[in-house]
A and B are shown apart, each in its own frame.
Chain A
Amino acid sequence: MSLVRPFDKLPTLNSAVILLVGTDERRQQQLAEAILKEKKNFKINIHVATSLPLPAERDHVRPRIDLIAFMINMQSKHSLRNVEASLSHIDANFFLGKVCFLITGVGRMNHCSVEMNAVRKLGNLYCSPVLFCELDSEGIRVATAQRLLRMLQICAGHVPGVSALFFSSLMKSSIDE
């Protein structure tokens, strides 16, 4: 029903769609703006949601989603729980390289309410890469936007010879095993 699926729609030519899911809307907004500012040779669509499932009624107008980035703030247990709850609303095929976790707020160790292990476990459980970034700092935000764009390009099939699945196998770390 309202499950988000990676392959149920046809891709649009020369465009890629990323979905940002997270409770912190301000940071989401900032990150989306940073992504849009980057130079790229394809059209980019950014969808934002605080949680999944996405509303079913607009499903027919929504384009195919190439990459889902879940944003978790280490300072808020709620953000982690929200992501965990949202994960059940996406199709398993997404985990073949079309999901990543963005972790913010690792810096202030003393204020972390989410354990590092919980985050790593999550990444391992869902076979998806975990990226650390402090979105409050301008420079890091730009760097993160660039990294996301690269992944998005691959997930949307714009890099010849590299598929999302292949890429996710590269990003997998053996520590978690």
Chain B
Amino acid sequence: MQQRENAKNPKQTLQVRHSSFSAWQIGERTTGPKTLDLKSAQKHEKEKQQSASDQAGNSTQDHLEQALTYFERVKDYIPLKKNEVLQKHLATVENIALQRGLSPEGLDVLLNVALSGHLADTVNSRILKCLIPASVIAESSVVSAVSWLCVGKCSGSTQLLFLRWLIAMFDFIDHKEKLHALYGFFFCSLQDEKLCPYVCHLLYLLTRRESVKPFRVRRLVDLQAKMGMQPHLQALLSLYKLFCPELVSITLPAKMKTYFKNSESLWKAAINTIRRRNQGTSPTSQQLILGTCHPQSRKRKWNTQLILPACSTNTNNPTRSKEINHADILSHSESFPVEQLHTFSQLLQNLHRLEFPSQMGSVLRNSLLLHYINCVKDESIYLRLYYWMGQTLQEECTWYKLDNQQYEEEFKDFLDIVYKTECFLQEGFSSCEEFLYKSLPLWDGFCCRPQILRLVSWIPLSSFSEMKPHLCEPLAQLFFTSSLYFKCSVLESLKELLQNWLNWHVMQLDMESDPKISPLNTTLSGLVNSVAELIHFVGWISTVALRLENNATFLLYFILDFYETVCDVYLKYNLPLLLMPPPGVFYPALLSMDSVSLNQLCYIMYRYRTNLVAAKENELIKKTILQFKFSSQTYQEYNQYIMAMVGCLWTSSAFQKDIHPQGIRLDPEVLKKTRVQEVRNSFNIVHHPALTGYAILFLQQAWPKDKTLNFNLIKGRRWNWYLEYLYMQGLQGLKLFIESSINRVSQVSQTKSGNVQV
């Protein structure tokens, strides 16, 4: 297709080529690349026209092969100036590499020539910048390239660029065993001040537990003393410390924002282009991957796909399995290749000899490896995962990039995976927390909304003072200005956050009873405070939201749903904390127009009662001074609410009995002025606006002929029938509430009743 276009309209193609060219050149420091390009382009044009007329079927592939043969034959220093042949071939290579990537063989040839020192530095850097693999990079080419470094023929800047390339392409290298063997060589390069940050990054990627040796630790500590606290050195040291804490005695900062400079930027765009090209049509592609199939390379596949390859791909290749064995014997006799892991029983059998893949991100989609992470409890795994995740979240975050639908889809996908992993491991990631803290203040409340809010629910339990400015305040600002649905989703995710914290607490309690595991480092009072602060925060925003949204039932449902968790904290999660909802939530629910809200409120009050009674009993039984006692304020608040409720629903004395300062007590004088008849019983279970519908249906069924709808008929025995009717309609919360909180003196009387004070 492309070729046909070439033949038809060579000029147009040329222009396109040329523009992409100069775009590529912008980053380069060479002088006058434009004129050079122009020349080569002109030359090229002639050639193109010729070849187009000669052989229409010939493809760009031939040009590439010619160029590669040319580069392969370079044996002596070749200047760039006035060398049109070189320029032509260079242009061909750049063009094709950026469009489709290069084969492993091509990469090998170009790497060799770029590092051999036969070409000018500008040419070397142009070559290195276009070394984009179409599939994989052979380990052997990397090794031979590194050997060129030892000869010292190439300049410092080329070496540096090569190292950056190596870091950026690390995951594309098909095997890494021999590369591991070069660990010592790379380590020696640390002394070069300019290379040091990149070498550190490379070593960070390469380091395994066996690589950590006392002499290396000493060397690093010396370097740090000489060069000061450099983030890259600290990164490497902290990795060493994780692998062998006994060897590294110095203290390192616990949290670091960025360890390394970004090395990928030069190649990232091109890699993405090729990735998209290879993936073809699917727009919601996986994040961070080259989606091609590479049956000949086991590592590559593993690294790129984020999923395990199918069984069939690595069963039928005897030579390859030999190769694997060979590689295993060389350095890692014990490890079990992760990509052969397919079943849970395999996991159990090989638990002791599993090694994580070099790209930690790939574990996110593999439930077996997640199980493994869960059981090995190795800090270094989390460090690697967090490091990678933090960087990815930061780089890919969509509201830093603009108007890019595809990026947004990918980022959403990625956030979904992260969330699922958090659910799987039942654990919040600190890298996600950091990301949220950093980006929520800048969030517009729209991009990836469901994903972001779900991540909020997994913020690890920490002191609320840290969470408040970074999370609560930006969230509250968005909450108050955004739609009803946004408010509901925020409440939903805060409820899940509370549940996750409480679950975590229960887990910790279980572990504490196991003496082998060290006790939790957060104190119980710290935990209680954080949870209480969260509940207060939700109470505050709920009160305001109900005001803003005019007591919307939908919103009230989500708020009461939150309190369904809160009211059971003591019994269900064993946390000595009970907080009543604020009056701004309680009264709208009590006086709501909807039976659903009223029923929910009744259920919540019933659970509060159960919890408070249980707490009181525990206090009495133990007779010991408990560390945490519910304050008398909680009991007092509960009693005030319960009096208001019973007054409202049962004794028809809502406006007299309510003693809550923010309650609905009204002077009889004022009530008289309203001129509403039978004010007293206007909120009892017959007349309550949420229940009148039931009352009417009940009347219609009981007295089908009576059309006057006389509510006063419902009293005495019929009151009980009416109650049974309500229960049958599914108002179970009301049933529980009435049966528990209302002391019915006799079955007939409906006025003589009172609340139980706890």
Binding site for B on A (CB under 8 A): 106-109, 129, 131-134, 136-137, 139-140, 142-144, 146-147, 150-151, 154, 159-162, 167, 170-171, 173-175
Contacts and interface: CB of A to CB of B under 8 A. Distances in A.
B468 A140 contact: no
B544 A170 contact: yes
A4 B476 CA distance: 30
Contacts, number: 74
B482 A150 contact: yes
Interface of B: 399-403, 441-447, 468-469, 473-474, 476-477, 480-483, 544, 547-548, 550
8 A-B pairs with the lowest CB-CB distances in the bound complex, closest first: A143-B446, A147-B481, A173-B473, A107-B400, A175-B469, A133-B444, A137-B403, A140-B446
Contacts of B403: 134, 136-137
Contacts of A146: 482-483
A38 to B, nearest CB: 11
A6 to B, nearest CB: 20
Contacts of B547: 159, 161-162
Nearest to A154: B548
A159 B441 CA distance: 26
A173 B476 CA distance: 9
Given A143-B482, A150-B483, 18 more contacts: A106-B399, A107-B402, A132-B443, A134-B403, A137-B403, A140-B446, A140-B447, A144-B444, A144-B446, A147-B482, A159-B547, A159-B550, A167-B480, A170-B476, A173-B469, A173-B474, A174-B469, A175-B469
Contacts of B468: 174
A137 B402 contact: yes
A91 to B, nearest CB: 24
A175 B471 CA distance: 11
A160 B551 CA distance: 12
8 contacts: A106-B400, A137-B403, A147-B445, A162-B547, A170-B480, A171-B481, A173-B474, A173-B477
Contacts of B399: 106-107, 134
Nearest to A144: B444
Nearest to B544: A170
Contacts of B474: 173
Contact of A139 (B441, B443, B446, B469): B446
B269 to A, nearest CB: 15
Contact of B481 (A136, A150, A159): A150
Given A150-B481, A150-B482, A134 B473 contact: no
Contact of A143 (B400, B444, B469, B548): B444
A139 B445 CA distance: 11
Given A140-B446, A150-B481, A108 B402 contact: yes
Nearest to B401: A107
Nearest to A109: B400
Contacts of A171: 477, 480-481
Given A143-B445, A173-B473, A162 B548 contact: yes
Nearest to A133: B444
B264 to A, nearest CB: 16
A7 to B, nearest CB: 23
A160 B402 CA distance: 38
A165 to B, nearest CB: 14
Contacts of B469: 173-175
Given A107-B400, A107-B402, A171-B477, A132 B442 contact: yes
Contact of B402 (A134, A154, A174): A134
A129 to B, nearest CB: 6
Contacts of B401: 107
Nearest to A159: B548
Contacts of A162: 547-548
Contacts of A150: 481-483, 548
Nearest to B405: A137
Contacts of A134: 399, 402-403, 444
Contacts of A137: 402-403
Nearest to B404: A137
Contacts of A131: 444, 477, 481
Contacts of A107: 399-402
B478 to A, nearest CB: 8
Nearest to A135: B444
Nearest to A177: B469
Nearest to A160: B550
A144 B441 CA distance: 15
B402 A151 contact: no
